[in-house]
């Protein structure tokens, strides 16, 4: 199975990506999954929704089947626009709110879907390691319960501690290099 097949078919994956090509590989992953007709729940705690939408449009990814959870914009003073496709979180440390937002989109989007978590390590800026690991465990379980695929992005050289604590929760790890 090549890496694109693995990315589409496996239920839960950790994607290890070099920092210098991180955003490119995240967008390519979203494109691969949406090209396979899966709907996307994109969680970002470090990039504003506006930037994510720009990246999607550059790759000609339709935003009709993409829902965004923006965990950073409000906390840095951005005034969110009302959109049925975007949930703006007021506090990036609010994991309960994040879980609720993900659950809302899992119920709203019909058909096959996936969650992509754009750099999960960002959660460690707001929460301790055990809280983040517990959240990831809950998220993976919830994804399985709802039959939703999940892709968690980690930077290959910088996220070794977090990786060691969550790797057993996932079906597989894929290294995405150029």
Q: Which domain holds residue 82?
A: 11-175
Looking at the 3D structure of the chain, how many domains does it have? 1
CATH of the domain at 170: 3.40.50.300
Q: Is 63 domain-assigned?
A: yes
Q: Is 6 domain-assigned?
A: no
149-155 sheet: strands from edge to edge:
86-88, 66-70, 39-44, 113-118, 149-155, 12-17, 172-175
Cα 136 to Cα 29, 81, 104, 142, 173: the distances in Å are 20, 29, 17, 10, 15
Q: Is 118 domain-assigned?
A: yes
Task: Round to whole Å and give the CA distance between 164 and 92.
Answer: 23
For residue 8, the SS3 value is: helix
Q: Is 83 domain-assigned?
A: yes
Query: pLDDT tens for residues 43-84?
Result: 998 889 989 999 999 999 988 889 999 998 888 777 777 788
Share of the chain above pLDDT 70, in %: 99
Q: Is 47 domain-assigned?
A: yes
Q: Is 1 domain-assigned?
A: no
pLDDT at residue 87, as a whole number: 93
Q: With contact defined as beta carbons under 8 Å apart, do 164 and 132 qualify?
A: no
Confidence class for position 153, pLDDT limits 50, 70, 90: very high
pTM value > 0.85: yes
Confidence class for position 138, pLDDT limits 50, 70, 90: very high
Q: Is 5 domain-assigned?
A: no
Q: Please provide the average confidence, as pLDDT, over all residues in the chain.
A: 91
């Amino acid at each position: 199975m090549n890496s694109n097949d693995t990315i589409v078919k496996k239920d839960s994956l950790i994607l290890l990506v070099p920092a210098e090509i991180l955003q490119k590989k995240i967008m390519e992953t979203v494109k691969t999954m949406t090209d396979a007709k899966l709907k996307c729940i994109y969680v970002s705690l470090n990039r504003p929704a506006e930037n994510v939408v720009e990246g999607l449009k550059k790759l000609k990814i339709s935003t009709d089947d993409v829902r965004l959870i923006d965990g950073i914009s409000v906390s840095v003073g951005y005034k969110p626009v009302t959109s049925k496709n975007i949930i703006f979180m007021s506090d990036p440390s609010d994991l309960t709110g994040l879980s609720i937002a993900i659950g809302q989109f899992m119920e709203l989007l019909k058909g096959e879907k996936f969650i992509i978590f754009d750099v999960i390590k960002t959660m460690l800026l707001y929460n301790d390691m055990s809280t983040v690991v517990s959240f990831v465990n809950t998220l993976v379980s919830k994804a399985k319960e709802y039959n939703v695929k999940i892709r968690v992005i980690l930077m290959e050289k910088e996220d070794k501690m977090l990786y060691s604590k969550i790797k057993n929760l996932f079906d597989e790890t894929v290294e995405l290099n150029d």
